[in-house]
Structure 1
């Protein structure tokens, strides 16, 4: 075999190896591919205020996977969907909450019990150097033996969550058109009170969940923007 042929084969092998290395990098934590994207929904997008500055408003649709950890017990929260709109009014930043949607999930250690997160009436998604955002929520607990209205936090006295960027899931640009991103957030100090309105079994539920207690809330999120 000539030197030219051998050199050509070596070059081809190096290119194949480089391609394999690039493909492997795409699978490392902190990256995400378009193949993994969920379906985004914008039907809950709130309209801009009547006095909104034209051309400045967009809707953000979040699709997340969450986990709540109380002591050493993890409660997978499954999928959470959240929407809000943001823009400017008279040159100043403004935002309008849309909706938080969460299907009930089973609570480990409490057979037949489900947990469903609800919006608590306050949100602020304007991030800064100290945190990514804030959201008030409460958790409804359901079981045939628990009273209707059993919850951790209430609509009148919700849990206040302040989330920060999660270094384990750094922000990743998925697409520029439409703008789509992937990132993680964590609230390391979510204070959970004892249950309320659960009836005679409330204390039993508190013991099983270890309430009241500090907790950690983790969330990995895909978000897509739509101009309004």
Structure 2
């Protein structure tokens, strides 16, 4: 798949505009994926509004839209989550991920999507590179994992692709799980979605995928073999990504002028 949604019957404009995420999100194939089923339902009673206000994310990464679309019918959606990831022998609670994309109707009437951005941070993997790191050796032999957008997404269906960069003083900079072909997720809801707030709009949901295959880490230099054995990669099955997430949105006619 390229950086367009997987609908080959769309017009060239639709294919250019419907950029797929493989990304945040991923890890938000979810924000758009769930919008048709719950975003316009009757909202639930508000919870702690102070906490909700603190969790609202800004819209700095909203992407430019295709020419000729109706700004009032296109939404910029910002999705934030802290996933829990199991790949091979490793299970880790990832640092929070924020993903931004836009969606709305194209001039020809088809549904379009445009990718914005993904932000994440490294998370330490217990045990470091050898799996037994402790004490003074922890920094030298430490290992961290950081998800990155994989270049493909479809928020209407929950498809998402990610790469996972592996960081350590012992590894070259390009050492990555999914370096040549990203890890493809097909995210599914694990429970009902819920409106938390209407002003600002804030929607909560949970999602998971337990069907994806995890490839071996690549571009890891002479450490590639020992590292993949330590991580249990490649792992064609037995992998899992789960997370609780929220998303918020604004239509483009409500965004500040740039």
Q: TM-score range by the shorter chain?
A: 0.7 to 0.9
Provide closer, same or farther for how the CA distance between residues 53 and 87 of structure 1 changes in structure 2, counting only shifts above 3 A.
same
Provide closer, same or farther for how the CA distance between residues 72 and 144 of structure 1 changes in structure 2, counting only shifts above 3 A.
closer
Please say which structure displays the higher CA radius of gyration.
1
Runs of 4+ residues over 6 Å off in structure 1: none
- Distance (Å, rounded) in 2 between the aligned partners of 1:70 and 1:107: 12
Q: Which has the higher mean CA deviation after the structures are superposed, 38-47 or 59-68?
A: 38-47
The 3-state SS of whatever aligns with 1:98 is strand
> What do the CA deviations read for 1:1-31 (whole angstroms, capped 9, x no partner)?
xxxxxxxxxxxxxxxxxxxxxxxxxxxxxx9
Q: TM-score, normalised by structure 2?
A: 0.69
Gaps of 5+ in 1: 1-30, 128-132
1:70 positional shift: 3.0
Equivalent residue number for residue 163 of structure 1: 187
Q: TM-score, normalised by structure 1?
A: 0.78
CA RMSD between the two structures: 1.7
- Distance (Å, rounded) in 2 between the aligned partners of 1:33 and 1:92: 38
Matched-pair contact (CA < 8 Å) for 2:56–2:248: no
Equivalent residue number for residue 220 of structure 2: 198
Equivalent residue number for residue 91 of structure 2: 74
- Distance (Å, rounded) in 1 between the aligned partners of 2:71 and 2:221: 51
Name the structure where strand makes up a greater proportion of residues: 1
Q: How does 1:38-117 map to 2 (within 5 A)?
A: 38-70=55-87, 73-90=90-107, 91-110=109-128, 111=133, 112-117=142-147
Gaps of 5+ in 2: 1-45, 134-141, 253-258
> What do the CA deviations read for 1:195-225 (whole angstroms, capped 9, x no partner)?
1011111121112211111310112111001
